[in-house]
Amino acid sequence: MSQAPMPDFSSSVKLKYVKLGYQYLVNHFLSLLLIPVMAIIAVELLRMGPQEILNVWNSLHFDLVQVLCSSFFVIFISTVYFMSKPRTVYLVDYSCYKPPVMCRVPFSTFMEHSRLILKDSPKSVEFQMRILERSGLGEETCLPPAIHYIPPTPTMDEARSEAQMVIFTAMDDLFKKTGLMPKDVDILIVNCSLFSPTPSLSAMVINKYKLRSNIKSFNLSGMGCSAGLISVDLARDLLQVHPNSNAVIVSTEIITPNYYKGNERAMLLPNCLFRMGSAAILMSNRRSDRWRAKYKLCHLVRTHRGADDKSYYCVYEQEDKEGKIGINLSKDLMAIAGEALKANITTMGPLVLPASEQLLFLFSLIGRKIFNLKWKPYIPDFKLAFEHFCIHAGGRAVIDELQKNLQLSGEHVEASRMTLHRFGNTSSSSLWYELCYIESKGRMRRGDRVWQIAFGSGFKCNSAVWKCNRTIKTPKDGPWSDCIDRYPVFIPEVVKL
Amino acid sequence: MEASPVTDLKISSVVPASMTGENKPRHLTAMDLAVKLHYVRAVYFFKGARDFTIVDLKNITFPLLDLQCYDHVTGRIRNLDNDDPSAQAIPYIRCNDSGMRIVEAKVEGFTVQEWLDLDDRSIDHRFLVYDQVLGPDLFFSPLVYLQITQFKCGGLSIGLSWAHVLGDVVSASTFMKRMGQLMSNHGPSKPVYPKKPELAAHANGQDGDNGHAISIKKVESVGKYWLLSNNKCKIGRYNFNFSLEQIDRLMAKYDRSFSEISILYALIWRSMLNIRGENDTNVITICDRKTSSACWNDDLVISVVERKDEMTEVSELAGLVASKRREENGVIKGMIDKDRGSSDFITYGANLTFVNLDKCEELEIKGEKPDFVNYTIHGVGDKGVVLVFPKGDFARVVSVVMSEEELAKLKVEVKNMIM
Question: CA B105, CA B151: separation in Å to the nearest integer?
Answer: 9
Contact assessment for residue A145 and residue A162, using Cβ atoms and an 8 Å cutoff: yes
Residue A160, C-beta contacts closer than 8 angstroms, at least 6 positions apart: A197, A204
Question: CA A335, CA A341: separation in Å to the nearest integer?
Answer: 10
Q: What does the mean pLDDT of chain A come to? A: 90
Angle between helices A430-440 and A414-423 (to 10 degrees): 110
The alpha carbon of residue B156 is apart from the nearest alpha carbon of chain A, in Å, by 21
Q: How far is CA A321 from the centre of its chain?
A: 37
Integer angstrom CA distances of residue A126 from A112, A114, A121, A132, B23? 12, 10, 9, 10, 20
By C-alpha distance, the chain B residue nearest A112 is B140
By C-alpha distance, the chain B residue nearest A110 is B98
> What is the pairing mode between strands B352-356 and B385-391?
parallel
Question: CA A189, CA A173: separation in Å to the nearest integer?
Answer: 17
- pLDDT band at A280, cuts 50/70/90? very high
User: What pLDDT does B419 receive?
Assistant: 73
Question: CA B346, CA B180: separation in Å to the nearest integer?
Answer: 32
Contact assessment for residue A384 and residue A354, using Cβ atoms and an 8 Å cutoff: yes
| Nearest by Cα to A281 from A349, A342, A234 | A234
Question: CA B248, CA A151: separation in Å to the nearest integer?
Answer: 53
User: What pLDDT does B204 receive?
Assistant: 45
Cα-based angle A229, A234, A238 (whole degrees, multiple of 5) = 145
- b/e for A447-461, b at 16 or more Cβ within 10 A? ebbbbbbbbbbbbbb
Question: CA B77, CA B140: separation in Å to the nearest integer?
Answer: 8
Whether residue B43 is predicted with pLDDT greater than 50 in this model: the reply is yes
| Nearest by Cα to A91 from A281, A275, A301 | A281
CB within 8 Å: B59 and A149: no
- pLDDT band at B187, cuts 50/70/90? very low
User: What pLDDT does A190 receive?
Assistant: 97
User: Which chain B positions have a beta carbon within 8 Å of A111's beta carbon?
Assistant: 140
Instruction: Note the residue count of chain A.
Output: 497
Burial (CB count within 10 angstroms: exposed 0-12, middle 13-18, buried 19+), residue A216? middle
Residue A435, C-beta contacts closer than 8 angstroms, at least 6 positions apart: A94, A390, A415, A450, A452
* Phi-psi sector, B392: left (phi>0), alpha (psi -120 to 50), beta: left
Whether residue A228 is predicted with pLDDT greater than 90 in this model: the reply is yes
Integer angstrom CA distances of residue A103 from A100, A151, A388, A487? 6, 16, 31, 21
Question: To 10 degrees, the CA torsion angle through A453, A455, A458, A459?
Answer: 80
Whether residue B396 is predicted with pLDDT greater than 50 in this model: the reply is yes
User: What pLDDT does A292 receive?
Assistant: 93
- Whole-structure pTM value: 0.89
The mean per-residue pLDDT over the stretch B28-44 comes to 92
Q: How far is CA B146 from the centre of its chain?
A: 14
Smallest Cβ distance to B13: which of A101, A140, A148?
A148
Report yes or no: A296 at the B interface, CB cutoff 8 Å: no
Question: CA A283, CA A303: separation in Å to the nearest integer?
Answer: 23
User: Which chain B positions have a beta carbon within 8 Å of A113's beta carbon?
Assistant: 13
Question: CA A193, CA B260: separation in Å to the nearest integer?
Answer: 69
Tell me the pLDDT tens digit for each residue of A152-174: 989 999 999 999 999 999 999 99
By C-alpha distance, the chain B residue nearest A153 is B10
- For chain B, the straight-line distance linking the first and the last C-alpha, in angstroms and rounded, comes to 30
Residue B182, C-beta contacts closer than 8 angstroms, at least 6 positions apart: B60, B63, B64, B191
Residue A325: its H or E element: strand A325-329
- pLDDT band at B86, cuts 50/70/90? low
**Could you give all domains of chain B from N- to C-terminal order, each with its CATH number?**
6-201+213-240+326-418 (3.30.559.10)
Strand order in the sheet with A187-192: A216-220, A187-192, A246-252, A278-284, A90-96, A295-304, A460-468, A449-456, A388-391
Please list the residues that pair with B145 across neighbouring strands.
B101, B161
More confident residue, B89 or B374: B374
Smallest Cβ distance to B96: which of A102, A108, A153?
A108
Whether residue B303 is predicted with pLDDT greater than 50 in this model: the reply is yes
Integer angstrom CA distances of residue A339 from A301, A365, A401, B36? 15, 18, 11, 58
Integer angstrom CA distances of residue B235 from A329, B232, B380? 54, 10, 9
Catalytic residue among A285, A390, A421, A461: A421
Query: Which homologous superfamily does the CATH classification assign to the domain defined by A90-471?
Result: Thiolase/Chalcone synthase (3.40.47.10)
Question: To 10 degrees, the CA torsion angle through B64, B68, B70, B75?
Answer: 110
- Which span out of A341-345, B9-13, B82-86 was modeled with the highest average pLDDT? B9-13
Domain residue extents for chain A = 90-471
What is chain B's percent helix, strand, coil content, to nearest 5? 30, 30, 45
| Nearest by Cα to A154 from A32, A307, A245, A258 | A258
Contact assessment for residue A352 and residue A385, using Cβ atoms and an 8 Å cutoff: yes
Whether residue B41 is predicted with pLDDT greater than 70 in this model: the reply is yes
Tally Cβ neighbours within 10 Å of residue A14.
10
User: Which chain B positions have a beta carbon within 8 Å of A102's beta carbon?
Assistant: 14, 58-59, 62
Contact assessment for residue B119 and residue B164, using Cβ atoms and an 8 Å cutoff: no
- A421 is annotated as an active-site residue: yes
Whether residue B377 is predicted with pLDDT greater than 90 in this model: the reply is yes
Contact assessment for residue B107 and residue B62, using Cβ atoms and an 8 Å cutoff: no
Smallest Cβ distance to A115: which of B12, B99, B140?
B140
What is chain A's percent helix, strand, coil content, to nearest 5? 50, 15, 35
User: What pLDDT does B197 receive?
Assistant: 61
Whether residue B190 is predicted with pLDDT greater than 70 in this model: the reply is no
Three-state DSSP state, A137: coil
User: Which chain B positions have a beta carbon within 8 Å of A106's beta carbon?
Assistant: 15, 19, 96-99
Catalytic residue among A392, A436, A461, A468: A392
CB within 8 Å: B97 and A101: no
- pLDDT band at B82, cuts 50/70/90? low
- A58 is annotated as an active-site residue: no
Tell me the pLDDT tens digit for each residue of A40-49: 988 888 888 7
By C-alpha distance, the chain B residue nearest A116 is B140
Catalytic residue among A103, A142, A192, A225: A225
Tell me the pLDDT tens digit for each residue of A72-121: 999 999 999 988 888 899 999 999 999 999 999 998 999 999 999 988 88
User: Which chain A positions have a beta carbon within 8 Å of B15's beta carbon?
Assistant: 104-106, 109
Cβ under 8 Å to B: A residues 89-118? 101-102, 104-109, 111-113, 115-116
Integer angstrom CA distances of residue B273 from B223, B283, B311, B322, B384? 34, 11, 11, 18, 13
User: What pLDDT does B195 receive?
Assistant: 60
The alpha carbon of residue B313 is apart from the nearest alpha carbon of chain A, in Å, by 55
The mean per-residue pLDDT over the stretch A13-34 comes to 84
The alpha carbon of residue B274 is apart from the nearest alpha carbon of chain A, in Å, by 49
Tell me the pLDDT tens digit for each residue of B334-346: 888 888 878 889 9
Cβ under 8 Å to B: A residues 138-197? 138-140, 148-150, 153
What would you report as the CA-atom Rg of chain B, rounded to the nearest whole angstrom? 21
Residue B144, C-beta contacts closer than 8 angstroms, at least 6 positions apart: B73, B100, B101, B132, B160, B161, B162, B163, B166
- b/e for B254-276, b at 16 or more Cβ within 10 A? bbeebebbbbbbbbbbbbbbbbe
- A304 is annotated as an active-site residue: yes
Whether residue B364 is predicted with pLDDT greater than 80 in this model: the reply is yes
| Nearest by Cα to B52 from B169, B162, B184 | B184
Q: What does the mean pLDDT of chain B come to? A: 86
Cα-based angle A399, A250, A457 (whole degrees, multiple of 5) = 45
Cis peptide before B110 (omega within 30 of 0): no
A-B contacts at Cβ under 8 angstroms: 54
Question: CA B408, CA B4: separation in Å to the nearest integer?
Answer: 23
Question: CA A454, CA A438: separation in Å to the nearest integer?
Answer: 17
Contact assessment for residue A128 and residue A269, using Cβ atoms and an 8 Å cutoff: no
A425: DSSP letter: B
User: What pLDDT does A421 receive?
Assistant: 95
| Nearest by Cα to A395 from A271, A301, A488, A249 | A271
Question: CA A302, CA A453: separation in Å to the nearest integer?
Answer: 10
CB within 8 Å: B59 and A102: yes
Three-state DSSP state, B162: strand
User: What pLDDT does A10 receive?
Assistant: 63
Catalytic residue among A219, A246, A328, A425: A425
Catalytic residue among A246, A304, A328, A469: A304
More confident residue, A31 or B143: B143
CB within 8 Å: B17 and A153: no
Residue B409: its H or E element: helix B404-418
Question: CA A254, CA A247: separation in Å to the nearest integer?
Answer: 22
User: Which chain A positions have a beta carbon within 8 Å of B18's beta carbon?
Assistant: 101, 140
Question: To 10 degrees, the CA torsion angle through A17, A18, A21, A22?
Answer: -150
The mean per-residue pLDDT over the stretch B51-62 comes to 91
User: What pLDDT does A495 receive?
Assistant: 82
What would you report as the CA-atom Rg of chain A, rounded to the nearest whole angstrom? 27
- pLDDT band at A477, cuts 50/70/90? confident
Contact assessment for residue B151 and residue B115, using Cβ atoms and an 8 Å cutoff: yes
The mean per-residue pLDDT over the stretch B214-229 comes to 86
Question: CA A406, CA A149: separation in Å to the nearest integer?
Answer: 42
By C-alpha distance, the chain A residue nearest B140 is A112
The mean per-residue pLDDT over the stretch A278-304 comes to 95
Contact assessment for residue A139 and residue A101, using Cβ atoms and an 8 Å cutoff: no
CB within 8 Å: A101 and B98: no
